[in-house]
Each structure stands twice: as structure tokens, then as C-alpha cells.
Structure 1
Amino acid sequence: MRSALWRRMAPADLPAVMRIAAVVHPSYPEDEAVFAERLQLASEGCHVLAGEDGGLLGYLVSHPWPVGTVPALNSLLGAIPPGAGNWYIHDLALLPAGRGGGAAGRIVAQIAERAMRAGFASLALVAVNDSTGFWQRQGFREVHDPALARKLASYDDAARYMRRDLQN
């Protein structure tokens, strides 16, 4: 696993990304068009974890988005809203073979650094699958906002909006 490396996602990676999503997030299905659009809108925020054999072990999809808001699950964005001062982590998924070597923490640190250099004030995400502990270790904190309750409920009762402020 230590030899697995993150690289920029390419359109040709989307079928493998969809297979990983089906394994890691079966309760949160999204159409391939959602991933393709995010790759097209913010390619610098989309990465895949490639193993020694070139097979994919995981992916990260992220993009600019306004702070305090959450894109609906399985929805197209259309465009990135102007003035979005937050970098949103849409999805981070690793197959079991890609876990345990620090790959998830490395890509989060890489995205945080890029977002900070680009002038973004924060990172945000919706934590699912009991992942809040992982995200807390990455510097995120839960944000309780009643205005987000309906969107979070579309994920599940345990979904949490989390944010990490960045120092510029």
C-alpha cells in the first residue's frame, strides 16, 4: 500500500471511480454524470489513488463551493458559484486495500495546501459512514446549522457538516 500514489483524475478513470463508489458508499449512490461534471468543473480537486499495478484503490472529488451550503446528493452543479470562498470535499473513498497507510490523510493535506494557496478560507464536507473521527483528526470540526438539516437528512441521520478553517 505504501507504493500507492495519488494522481490527478482523468475522464478515463470514471468507470473505476464508479466501481469504488459502489463498494465504499453503496448507501449514497450517485450517477457517473455527477463525478464527470465535478471533474470538468474543478479538475484540480479530483484525484485517484493508483496502486503498484496501476489499478485504482480510491479517489477524492472536491471543488469550490460556498461556505455553509451543501450540494444535494446525486445532483449536478451546473457551475461553481462566483465568489465561493470554501473548498468542498464532495467524496473521499478508499477500498480496503488502500486503507491503513496514511493515503487519505496525505490527500486531505494536499488539498488543504492547494486551497490555502489559492486563497480559500476553509474546507468543508459532509461526513458519512461514521467518519467524523477521521475528519476530526484532519482538523475538521462539526458545524451545527439548522438551515442544513434537510440536506443532511437526505444522506442519513448520522451525516454531519464539518469545516476546517485554513490559515492564509
Structure 2
Amino acid sequence: MNTLRADTIWRLMAPDDLGYVTTLAARVHPDYPEDTIIFAERLHLAPAGCLSLILDGQFSGYLISHPWRGVLSPPLNTLLDTLPAPADRWYIHDLAIAPQARGKGYAQLAITLAEQAARKAGLNTLTLTSTRHALQFWAKQGFAPEAVSAEEQTILASYDPEARLLSRPIG
């Protein structure tokens, strides 16, 4: 069910949003801690892929995404320094919606916005690392597991033993 309202906006993330991002990330993903500097670096490297959800004037979610290359996902809580070039896919680093805002279509809209950013960058695949808690959500969004190497499996295990690298083509 989509109950998007006129007072809801996904907008480009601003540096002033990073405190809210870190707070929401700790609340929504307590088993997967990341330092504020990780989010700040992604915002610096790919501002077009970093969005904030504002609902009724309140910070209610975020999307952090960026161009990427290959199926070796970034380890949890690790700086990238630079983005790989040329990129061959768009990587969704994190998508978090505050509990009170879930189930209303905001996550699906964020995925659509990530697709738009990928298309603008000339990329036709979305990729992400899903933790065990989110596998069902991402499967409903059309993402399927990628074949991964032993090196990739080690990186995925840094998230949790059931984490999977998932991708889907952009339609």
C-alpha cells in the first residue's frame, strides 16, 4: 500500500543530516554499526546517491548509494577512499526507514530514485549486500543472489553469516 503524502520528500542529503543518519542507523541496524565518517565519505563521493527522507518536517529515513564495479562488496564500516572507475553497477550501501514510517512505500520510492541515479550514470544494475534480517524485503523488490567468490563470502561474513550479495537489472 502506498500512502505517500505531499509533505513527504526524498531530497539530496546534506552534511547537516549526518547526525540523524548515524542515529537512525544505530536504531535500525544495531547489529551492523558504522561510524559517521563512513556515511560522510559516501556523501562526499556520491552526493547524487545520498538522500534523506523528510516526513512531516522530521528526518525519517535515508538512502546511501553510489557507483560501483564488480561483485566484491565493500566490507562493513570501511572507507572507500575513491569510487571505482569505470563503474558497472549502482551499489545501495544502506536504506533505512524509521519504524513509524515503514510500510508506506517510502523504501520502494527510494529504490526508484536509486534506479534513476544509476540510469543517469549510465548503469543498468542495482547491487547491495543484504543482511539476514532484510533478505525477504529485498527479494520482494526483485533482487536475487549473485554468485560470489571465497573472498566475497569472507567480506559478506563481516556483516553476518547469512548476508548475501543481491542484484537486479534496472528495468
TM class, shorter-length: over 0.9
**Which one-letter code corresponds to 1:143 in the other structure?**
E
Q: Tell whether the 8 Å contact from 1:49 to 1:59 is kept in structure 2 after alignment.
A: yes
TM-score under structure 2 length normalisation: 0.92
TM-score under structure 1 length normalisation: 0.93
Tell me the distance in 1 between the aligned counterparts of 2:109 and 2:116: 11
Alignment of structure 1 residues 12-161 onto 2, 5 Å: 12-52=16-56, 54-147=57-150, 148-161=152-165
Q: Secondary structure of the equivalent of 1:38?
A: helix
Q: Tell whether the 8 Å contact from 1:67 to 1:124 is kept in structure 2 after alignment.
A: no
Tell me the distance in 2 between the aligned counterparts of 1:116 and 1:138: 18
| TM-aligned CA deviation for residue 96 of structure 1 | 0.6
* Match of residue 2, structure 1, among 1, 4, 8: 4
Call closer, same or farther: CA 1:74–1:125 in 2, change over 3 Å: same
Note the residue ranges of structure 2 that are not aligned, 5 or more in a row.
none
The share of aligned pairs that are identical, in percent, is 44
RMSD (Å) for aligned C-alpha atoms: 1.4
| TM-aligned CA deviation for residue 81 of structure 1 | 1.3
| TM-aligned CA deviation for residue 146 of structure 1 | 2.9
* Match of residue 15, structure 2, among 11, 34, 39: 11
Which 4+ runs in 1 deviate beyond 6 A? Answer: none
Q: Tell whether the 8 Å contact from 1:60 to 1:89 is kept in structure 2 after alignment.
A: yes
| TM-aligned CA deviation for residue 130 of structure 1 | 2.2
Q: Tell whether the 8 Å contact from 1:37 to 1:76 is kept in structure 2 after alignment.
A: yes
**Which one-letter code corresponds to 1:83 in the other structure?**
P
Q: Tell whether the 8 Å contact from 1:88 to 1:125 is kept in structure 2 after alignment.
A: yes
| TM-aligned CA deviation for residue 156 of structure 1 | 0.4
